[in-house]
Amino acid sequence: MILITWNVQWCRGVDGRVDPARIAATARALADFDVLCLQEVAVNFPGLKGSRGEDQPAELAAALPGYQALFAPATDFAGGQGRRSQFGNLILTRLPALQVFRHALPWPPDAAVPSMARVALEAVLATPLGPLRVITTHLEYYSASIRMAQVHALRCLHDEACAHAHAPRPDGDPGEPFAVQPRPVSAIVCGDLNFKPEDPEHAQMRAPFPTGAPAFVDAWQSAHPGQPHPPTVGVHDKSWPLYCCDFAFVTEALAGRIRGMGVEAGTDVSDHQPLVVAFA
């Protein structure tokens, strides 16, 4: 299984051009991926630089036939021409999506800085590795306290999912909402997490769970022990300093199945670089 995670800056390249089809073509050139996790995907936001207000989930899906598009807006408000304006995360998968969850993340007030609502999009996928929860998200940029609250929420969601996996409930009738669906302990949490490898949020993501739920491992550190994370921003867009804020965290058993993990530095069709993770 191959997964790509990428903050695509509403499909805007360093050249200023917004082009969802170019994002899709670039991703396909990187790898024959099974799952594509994208952050900063927009619908009806003509105020974003270079955008014409296009429906980016729809355009990305059209450019990737054979993939199912799952969208979770973090912001959703009344826009122009009677349409909703939405901004959030997208999963494109050619693996069956058994369940989909859209988790609103905490947004405690921090009057000192600007902030916005955030969401974690979770898909339970039928994969060659078995049922697997893939969660993609984009955490708060300006406020460390909000960001840490969101890390805590991601950990609570994982702990809850593991509890469901270990405490099966009576099944409902097939095709009804109470029917039991797979809720595996194996999980990937990926996206633009807006912290650095040395930050306390990174350590908190990897902390053990008192309940015994499997801990998360940084996929880069697992695949490249002792090597520093390559930068994921500032590579082509020189308005940013060079640093890493994009990650893939995997549960412990999955870490042993990573056969490749890389940051693709060659593309400049976003201000972030895509991460490619391959599992055996």
Task: State the pLDDT at residue 172.
Answer: 72
Task: State the pLDDT at residue 97.
Answer: 98
Could you give the count of Cα atoms lying within 13 Å of 103 in the half-sphere of its Cβ? Answer: 24
Task: State the pLDDT at residue 171.
Answer: 74
Residue-wise pLDDT for 46-84, tens only, equals: 999 999 999 999 999 999 999 999 999 999 999 877 899
Instruction: Quickly count: other Cβ atoms within 10 Å of residue 265's Cβ.
Output: 13
Contacts of 233 by beta carbon, 8 Å cutoff, 6+ apart: 240, 241, 242, 243, 244, 245, 246, 271, 272, 273
Q: How confident is the model at residue 200 (pLDDT cuts 50, 70, 90)?
A: very high
pLDDT over 90, % of the chain: 92
Mode of pairing for the β-strands spanning 2-7 and 35-43? parallel
Task: State the pLDDT at residue 156.
Answer: 98
Task: State the pLDDT at residue 170.
Answer: 76
The answer, yes or no, to whether residue 28 has pLDDT greater than 90, is yes
Residue-wise pLDDT for 82-135, tens only, equals: 899 999 999 999 999 999 999 999 999 999 999 999 999 999 999 999 999 999
Between 56-63 and 20-30, two packed helices, what is the crossing angle to 10 degrees?
A: 40
The answer, yes or no, to whether residue 35 has pLDDT greater than 80, is yes
DSSP the chain: -EEEEEE-GGGB-TTS-B-HHHHHHHHHHH---SEEEEEEEEES-TTSTT----BHHHHHHHHSTT-EEEEEEEEEEE-GGG-EEEEEEEEEESS-EEEEEEEEPP----TTS-----EEEEEEEEETTEEEEEEEEE--SS-HHHHHHHHHHHHHHHHHHHHHHHS------TTSTTS-----S-EEEEEE----TTSHHHHHHTPPPTT-PPPEEEHHHHHSTTPPPPPSBSSS-TTS-SB--EEEEEEHHHHTTEEEEEE--S--SSSB--EEEEE-
Residue-wise pLDDT for 241-253, tens only, equals: 999 999 999 999 9
Q: How confident is the model at residue 232 (pLDDT cuts 50, 70, 90)?
A: very high
Is the whole-model pTM more than 0.85?
Answer: yes
212 phi/psi in degrees, rounded to 5:
90, 5
Q: How confident is the model at residue 176 (pLDDT cuts 50, 70, 90)?
A: confident
Tokens of 222: 């697992």
The answer, yes or no, to whether residue 173 has pLDDT greater than 80, is no
Q: Which of 247, 219, 228 is nearest to 5 (CA)?
A: 247
Strand partners, 217: 250
Average pLDDT, the chain: 96
Q: Which of 159, 105, 115 is nearest to 137 (CA)?
A: 105
Q: Which of 5, 21, 268 is nearest to 123 (CA)?
A: 5
Rounded CA separation 246/264 (Å): 12
Q: What is the mean pLDDT of residues 7-13?
A: 98
Task: State the pLDDT at residue 82.
Answer: 83
